[in-house]
A and B are shown apart, each in its own frame.
Chain A
Amino acid sequence: MSYVGHTREEGAAMLAEIGVASFDDLLAQIPERFRLTGLLALPPALSETELRRLFAEHLSHNYDPAQTPSFLGGGIYDHAIPAAVDGLSSRAEFSTAYTPYQAEVAQGTLAAIFEFQTMICELTGMDVANASMYDGASAAAEAVLLARAANKGTRVLLPETVHPRTRGVVATYLDGTDCRVELIPERDGRLDGAALAQALEGGDRVAALIVQQPNFYGCLEALDALPETLRAGTPRGPHLIVSADPLSLGLLAPPALFGAQTVVGDLQPLGIPPQGGGPTGGYFATRQAWIRRLPGRLVAEARDAAGRRGFTLTLQTREQHIRRDKATSNICTNSALLMLRATIYLALVGPQGLREVAGQCLARGRYARRRLGEISGVTAVHGGPWFREFVLRLPQSAEQVVARVLDEAGILAGIPLARFDPARERELLVAVTEKRSCAEIDALVAALSAVLAGAPRGNGRTGERKAGG
């Protein structure tokens, strides 16, 4: 099935009608040595039925997310997704449209983006938000590029408490620029304030500091206690960039209050499934002062000749299709479908719902950490305030424990931190969302206790599922 609109015979007739003798005549502009004579070496074409079978076979070799309570987080969370989010965002009117270049036939997408921009401004306290970012990590990198363009700084301060993969993406983006990354060490799960103050004092001009809130370990950073130079927001001063989980902002104060020049984050918690890590969508919100340095698409209210309100892309001269080599960013994407999901999610839950879901994460997380901490040999690593995620120290290798808990109890216990830092071999990052029931948390406690106690293997499901098994 290739979904083409005409048969071979029709195609030949169409060519004949325009005076082309054979299809090969159309290929005359491709030098013969580049033309492919044989077929590509690909597996045979499949019907829908066969395709379903192929996917079912592949998917049977994964864990079954519907049957596996998950305490995995680290940037991707198992939050509830209202049915209406799927139902509405999967409408072809939204999903098969493209970037709203022709505003008169794209008011659906444009109005939704305008709503999204408003909601993100409300959550972050910032003046303006775009709807263009691929994910939270690249949004953080774009925020650094904005800071660098605004204040001409050459140093980017990255605390170790920022997700290591975000740090990696920022470093990749900065390769080839005059900016370099400086790590700010961690102290009890938070950025080391003294080290930060020192870094700000000496050396070349600082472009930006990125603070993740809640941070990679789930701890809350003391945004209210950052050095004054970061909070002041002076025009050429270093930019405070806060990478904030948007769901947490139902409870936590908008980062604008702490002097953030740009607030970024990943949209995944707001109604977007994990999808193996992407697409998740990012958000990017900044101050009015930087609106002409904003990367990506921006929508504004506009009026037609009759005075009716509509919406249109605006300030397009910032963008690559007009300013080319002088553009604020090379981004062309407009993460409309992901932004739409987040918008519908926020509309459904409203201010009270967002506060409630954040509060439930808080409550369920605390119950889980208390109960898990009662297991002999298991301790919570960090003190101080935290949100939905925490680090446990286990008496043995976390990677092995996770595999056994999955194998024996069918529960995903968390993310072993050794994947990011070999020195943290016994540490486990555990996330608890509003979806984790008391019974599921209790089952994790029981499974972890049993595994650590060396109890014999139960008759549970297996992490590595065999075909047909």
Chain B
Amino acid sequence: MKAEGTQVRDAGTAEACLPAGSIGLIFDLSVADHRGYRFPTLDVPAVEGEQELPKSLLRDRSPRLPEVTELEVVRHYTALSVLNHHVEKSLYPLGSCTMKYNPKINGELAQQPAAAFLHPDAPEGALQGLLAMLWHFERHLATIVGMEAVSLHPAAGAQGEMLGMKLFRAYHQQKGNQKREVLLPDSAHGTNPASVVLSGFTPRQIPSGPDGRIDLAALAEAIGETTAGIMITNPNTLGLFEHGIGEIAERIHAVDGLVYMDGANLNALMGLALPGQMGVDVIHLNLHKTFATPHGGGGPGAGPVGVSAALEPFLPVPLVARDGERFRIVTDRPHSIGRLHPYYGNVGVMLCAYAYVRSLGAEGLREASRAALINANYLMHKVDCAFPVAKRGACMHEFVSAAAWTRSHEVRNIDVAKRILDYGFHAPTVSFPLIVPDALMIEPTETETRRSLDLFAEALQAIAVEVREQPDVVRGAPHGTCIGRLDEAAAARRLRVRWNPPGEVDD
């Protein structure tokens, strides 16, 4: 089966040297004086920039933006859009990314003009409805993770991690602790060590044991007086629950360290277990993963952070507080780490997630996590014969298969991933976590049906046969996409990171 072929635009005359089938750019369509939008007629006295502003601050040459009609713009971006794989097309089993269905109603409610056009600096009294929704949403998230309080500010999971590390600092500073190190398992997301360093701590890597979980003996050895805390992803990036988390938290707390839980994989736990009961002091959630807000091609997301009571005084400002029926914006918090976001975080994303939480309710959230576990275990079982699972036993919401065996056929895991595209699915996460050689990390999510999982498993089984019988087909994949595999090395060596007008191409 070939992926649905899509006609890409013919290259325009401006780039006539490009072979047919090249991806077109809006600049190729530009014609002098074409316009795609009309602004209101000026009904106040006109002024010229040259009269009002110093000439030295004015532009003397127009930016070379495209000049195109509205229809051309619409056609161009419609044509580009269909070149994307997306959740509404077919399975998108990108591990650790939770590519679940994004219910239409949530986006519609969050984007309606009465919500989307609210200015955050309007008087408090004129924003009572918005503040109420934020306040309720914050409480709901605190309930779902079992934490004392939640900050909605972080614009993404990585910013949530950074906030977590700032909270670590604030806590230790207040207590006069001399802390330097933050412990991380070797299966951690790359954002974890980066966030640790960004906040002035030193990361220290803890090896995973043979079962894919943190090696408790190695951890015990690493913990010392300078340990500021630990960052744990739970379930971890192998899709396994870190069942030692209670003991880990006790050991960390024994040296007055703190436990940060990367909640990227919370989709496995909703209504089934509470991080707040596991000794977690800080946790971030990804609304674009667990709470079904659209991933947007990589953003915007939101990464709210839940904290224990001890850390609540340090949360960033402003916070929304409730006095009876009235909601207030609170900025006067003496121990706060300050500002992380100019306003209240990604409110547009929160409203979408708020609608999700309200439409599912407690039972629906539990049902979602339950089904995520069933789908992942079912698919793991079906895929195992083709690409053996890295760690035996039940998984949580995702699992990691290894494609190492294909090396003897001179096929790499990236080739397998590219071949999956030909079967009409998105590829799994490739080569992560780092501790599994040639990893394929697969997360089907709860919104897939059994039929959809079966089709994907059949595709992997067929590819495994191809690897043995027709390795060239796999190595040369993809064959059915709008463009073939791109030469990334050549692109990086001779970097072109912007379009140039014809004639300036090689400047």
- Is B one of A's binding partners? yes
| Chain A stretch 159-199: residues in CB contact (< 8 A) with chain B | 163, 165-166, 168-169, 171-173, 175-177
Known contacts A169-B340, A352-B67, A31 near B193 by CB under 8 Å:
no
Known contacts A34-B246, A99-B297, A138-B159, A46 near B84 by CB under 8 Å:
no
- Cα distance A363–B40 in the bound complex, in angstroms: 13
A61 at the interface (CB under 8 A from B): yes
B447: which of A5, A168, A315 is its contact (CB, 8 Å)?
Answer: A5
* Chain B, Cβ-Cβ closest to A122: B63
* Chain B, Cβ-Cβ closest to A337: B296
B46 at the interface (CB under 8 A from A): yes
Task: List 18 A-B residue pairs with CB atoms under 8 Å apart, sorted by A's residue number.
Answer: A1-B360, A5-B446, A31-B246, A34-B277, A41-B143, A42-B362, A45-B360, A82-B36, A105-B83, A109-B298, A118-B499, A320-B194, A329-B194, A330-B191, A332-B190, A333-B155, A336-B296, A359-B47
When the two chains form their complex, are residues B300 and A333 in contact, meaning their CB atoms are under 8 A apart?
yes
Encode B140-158 as 1/0 by CB contact (under 8 A) with A. Answer: 1001100000000001111
When the two chains form their complex, are residues A312 and B113 in contact, meaning their CB atoms are under 8 A apart?
no
B436 at the interface (CB under 8 A from A): no
Binding-face segment, B99-107, B251-259, B462-470: B99-107
B209 at the interface (CB under 8 A from A): no
Interface residues in B, total, Cβ within 8 A: 210
When the two chains form their complex, are residues A123 and B25 in contact, meaning their CB atoms are under 8 A apart?
no
- How close is B216's CB to chain A, nearest CB, in angstroms? 14
Known contacts A46-B361, A320-B194, A403-B123, A300 near B339 by CB under 8 Å:
no
When the two chains form their complex, are residues B497 and A43 in contact, meaning their CB atoms are under 8 A apart?
no
Q: Which residues of A contact B340 (CB under 8 A)?
A: 169, 172
When the two chains form their complex, are residues B123 and A277 in contact, meaning their CB atoms are under 8 A apart?
no
- Cα distance A431–B198 in the bound complex, in angstroms: 36
A325 at the interface (CB under 8 A from B): yes
Binding-face segment, A69-77, A204-212, A227-235, A451-459: A69-77
10 more CB-based (< 8 A) A-B contacts, given A39-B366, A72-B122, A175-B337? A72-B119, A82-B37, A95-B297, A98-B94, A112-B80, A327-B197, A337-B297, A340-B297, A347-B76, A349-B35
B222 at the interface (CB under 8 A from A): no
Q: Which residues of A contact B396 (CB under 8 A)?
A: 26, 29
Known contacts A34-B246, A253-B58, A172 near B271 by CB under 8 Å:
no
- How close is B240's CB to chain A, nearest CB, in angstroms? 7
| Chain A stretch 406-464: residues in CB contact (< 8 A) with chain B | 406, 412, 415, 419, 434-435, 437-439, 441, 463-464
Q: Which residues of B contact A18 (CB under 8 A)?
A: 377-378, 381-382
When the two chains form their complex, are residues A95 and B294 in contact, meaning their CB atoms are under 8 A apart?
yes
- Cα distance A300–B60 in the bound complex, in angstroms: 29
Q: Which residues of A contact B99 (CB under 8 A)?
A: 96, 98
Q: Which residues of A contact B53 (CB under 8 A)?
A: 220, 251-252, 362, 385
Encode A107-132 as 1/0 by CB contact (under 8 A) with B. Answer: 11101101101110111000111001
* Chain B, Cβ-Cβ closest to A135: B342
When the two chains form their complex, are residues B491 and A301 in contact, meaning their CB atoms are under 8 A apart?
yes
Q: Which residues of A contact B330 (CB under 8 A)?
A: none
Count A/B pairs, Cβ under 8 Å: 716
- Cα distance A60–B348 in the bound complex, in angstroms: 17
| Chain A stretch 10-60: residues in CB contact (< 8 A) with chain B | 10-11, 14-15, 17-20, 23, 25-31, 33-36, 39-48, 51-52, 54-55, 57-60
When the two chains form their complex, are residues B54 and A385 in contact, meaning their CB atoms are under 8 A apart?
yes
B394 at the interface (CB under 8 A from A): yes
* Chain A, Cβ-Cβ closest to B213: A29
Encode A66-87 as 1/0 by CB contact (under 8 A) with B. Answer: 1000101011101010101001
When the two chains form their complex, are residues B73 and A274 in contact, meaning their CB atoms are under 8 A apart?
no
When the two chains form their complex, are residues A353 and B37 in contact, meaning their CB atoms are under 8 A apart?
yes
Binding-face segment, A150-158, A303-311, A373-381, A389-397: A303-311
Q: Which residues of B contact A330 (CB under 8 A)?
A: 158, 161-162, 191, 194-195, 198
Q: Which residues of B contact A34 (CB under 8 A)?
A: 245-246, 273-274, 277-278
Q: Which residues of A contact B191 (CB under 8 A)?
A: 320-321, 330, 332
- Cα distance A341–B143 in the bound complex, in angstroms: 35
B25: which of A46, A57, A115, A128 is its contact (CB, 8 Å)?
Answer: A115
Q: Which residues of A contact B119 (CB under 8 A)?
A: 65, 70, 72, 76, 78, 274, 276, 412
When the two chains form their complex, are residues A39 and B271 in contact, meaning their CB atoms are under 8 A apart?
yes
Q: Which residues of B contact A297 (CB under 8 A)?
A: 298
* Chain A, Cβ-Cβ closest to B434: A324
A360: which of B20, B42, B360 is its contact (CB, 8 Å)?
Answer: B42
- Cα distance A44–B358 in the bound complex, in angstroms: 7
A289 at the interface (CB under 8 A from B): no
A-B residue pairs, 7 tightest by C-beta: A277-B343, A176-B200, A336-B297, A334-B298, A45-B361, A337-B296, A168-B339
Q: Which residues of B contact A171 (CB under 8 A)?
A: 338-339
Q: Which residues of B contact A224 (CB under 8 A)?
A: 54, 56-57
- Cα distance A412–B242 in the bound complex, in angstroms: 52
- Cα distance A17–B23 in the bound complex, in angstroms: 45
Known contacts A11-B374, A464-B126, A100 near B78 by CB under 8 Å:
no
When the two chains form their complex, are residues A435 and B40 in contact, meaning their CB atoms are under 8 A apart?
yes
When the two chains form their complex, are residues B109 and A52 in contact, meaning their CB atoms are under 8 A apart?
yes
A217 at the interface (CB under 8 A from B): no
Q: Which residues of B contact A273 (CB under 8 A)?
A: 111, 113, 116-117, 348
B449: which of A6, A278, A314, A344 is its contact (CB, 8 Å)?
Answer: A6
When the two chains form their complex, are residues A137 and B127 in contact, meaning their CB atoms are under 8 A apart?
no
* Chain B, Cβ-Cβ closest to A359: B49
- How close is A164's CB to chain B, nearest CB, in angstroms? 9
* Chain B, Cβ-Cβ closest to A58: B129
When the two chains form their complex, are residues B114 and A98 in contact, meaning their CB atoms are under 8 A apart?
no
Encode A257-277 as 1/0 by CB contact (under 8 A) with B. Answer: 000000000000000011111
B120: which of A76, A359, A463 is its contact (CB, 8 Å)?
Answer: A76
- Cα distance A338–B64 in the bound complex, in angstroms: 21
- Cα distance A135–B302 in the bound complex, in angstroms: 12
Known contacts A254-B59, A304-B485, A385-B52, A114 near B297 by CB under 8 Å:
no
B14 at the interface (CB under 8 A from A): no
When the two chains form their complex, are residues A300 and B271 in contact, meaning their CB atoms are under 8 A apart?
no
- Cα distance A437–B42 in the bound complex, in angstroms: 8
When the two chains form their complex, are residues B156 and A350 in contact, meaning their CB atoms are under 8 A apart?
no
- Cα distance A33–B339 in the bound complex, in angstroms: 37
When the two chains form their complex, are residues A40 and B365 in contact, meaning their CB atoms are under 8 A apart?
yes
Known contacts A118-B498, A135-B155, A279-B346, A4 near B367 by CB under 8 Å:
yes
